[in-house]
Amino acid sequence: KNQVEQSPQSLIILEGKNCTLQCNYTVSPFSNLRWYKQDTGRGPVSLTIMTFSENTKSNGRYTATLDADTKQSSLHITASQLSDSASYICVVTAWSDMRFGAGTRLTVKP
Partner 1 sequence: DAGVIQSPRHEVTEMGQEVTLRCKPISGHDYLFWYRQTMMRGLELLIYFNNNVPIDDSGMPEDRFSAKMPNASFSTLKIQPSEPRDSAVYFCASRLHSPGQGAIGELFFGEGSRLTVL
* Interface with partner 1 (CB under 8 A): 31-32, 34, 36, 41-46, 49, 51-52, 89, 91, 93, 95-96, 98, 100-103
Q: Tell the smallest beta-carbon distance from residue 64 to partner 1 (Å).
A: 14
Cβ at position 108, least distance to partner 1 in Å: 20
The CA distance from 29 to 12, in Å, is 34
Minimum CB distance to partner 1 smaller for 26 or for 78: 26
Residue among 13 and 98 whose Cβ is closer to partner 1: 98
- Min dist CB 31 to partner 1, Å, is 5
Instruction: Say whether 103 sits in a helix, a strand or coil.
Output: coil
Name residues whose C-beta falls within 8 Å of residue 35's C-beta, 6 or more positions apart in sequence. Answer: 23, 46, 47, 48, 62, 64, 73, 75, 88, 89, 90, 91
CB of 8 vs partner 1, minimal distance in Å: 15
Instruction: Report the residue number, 60 or 110, with the smaller CB distance to partner 1.
Output: 60
Main-chain phi, psi angles of 34, to 5 degrees: -120, 145
Q: How far is CA 25 from CA 6, 22, 87, in A?
A: 9, 10, 18
- Residue number with CB closer to partner 1 (19 or 50): 50
